[in-house]
Amino acid sequence: MTIRPSLAQDRPEWFRMRRALWPDCSPERHLLEIEQLIAGEGRNVVLVAVRDGGGLCGFAELSIRRDHVDGASAVPVAYLEGWYVDADVRRHGVGRRLLQAAEKWAADRGLKELASDAELNNQGSIEAHVSCGFTETCRAVHFIKPIGLHRDDGAMA
């Protein structure tokens, strides 16, 4: 297994793995985000894990965030936007190797910290983060509300 930055030929497998990681995101949205990530080369990177026999088995999407990141001691900070390993090879060190490559990418750009997040109910991911050296900083529930559609008492305007 090897880790390297993604290439154009990786797109179908990257798309497959993205859909496995974020099944609620539409295929169109995945394709848009893939295009945006490719266009943003330099500000972000996608690292992939390649099986010995060929084909991919994992990826890490990294960005450099310049706005506030909870728990980060400074900005800009490297951010692990996506971290995924195919189920058949989990718990064999692939995720850790993706993170090591991610840290090197960030360190090469002078960044001092790598930030990340996980869903509150994704206990496996939370434990994997901690095992790989992350410290939990806070827990949050995010909200959004359309503006102007509802009165404060909940009735339709």
Ligand X SMILES: CC(C)(COP(=O)(O)OP(=O)(O)OC[C@H]1O[C@@H](n2cnc3c(N)ncnc32)[C@H](O)[C@@H]1OP(=O)(O)O)[C@@H](O)C(=O)NCCC(=O)NCCS
In the bound state with ligand X, the residue whose beta carbon lies nearer, of 111 and 117, is 117
In the bound state with ligand X, the residue whose beta carbon lies nearer, of 14 and 84, is 84
Give min distance, CB of 117 to ligand X, in A. Answer: 6
Give min distance, CB of 30 to ligand X, in A. Answer: 15
Q: Which residue's CB comes closest to ligand X?
A: 95
103-139 burial: b if 16+ Cβ within 10 Å, else e:
bebbeeeebebbbbbbeeeeeebbebbeebebeeeee
Residue type, 92: H
Residues engaged in binding ligand X (CB under 6 A): 21, 83-85, 90-96, 118, 122, 124-125, 127-128, 131-132
One DSSP character per residue, 34-65 reads HHHHHHTBTTEEEEEEE-TTSSEEEEEEEEEE
> Which helix H or strand E contains 103, and what residues bound it?
helix 94-108
In the bound state with ligand X, the residue whose beta carbon lies nearer, of 48 and 118, is 118
What number of other Cβ atoms are within 10 A of residue 156's Cβ?
6
In the bound state with ligand X, the residue whose beta carbon lies nearer, of 94 and 111, is 94
Give min distance, CB of 101 to ligand X, in A. Answer: 12
Give min distance, CB of 54 to ligand X, in A. Answer: 19
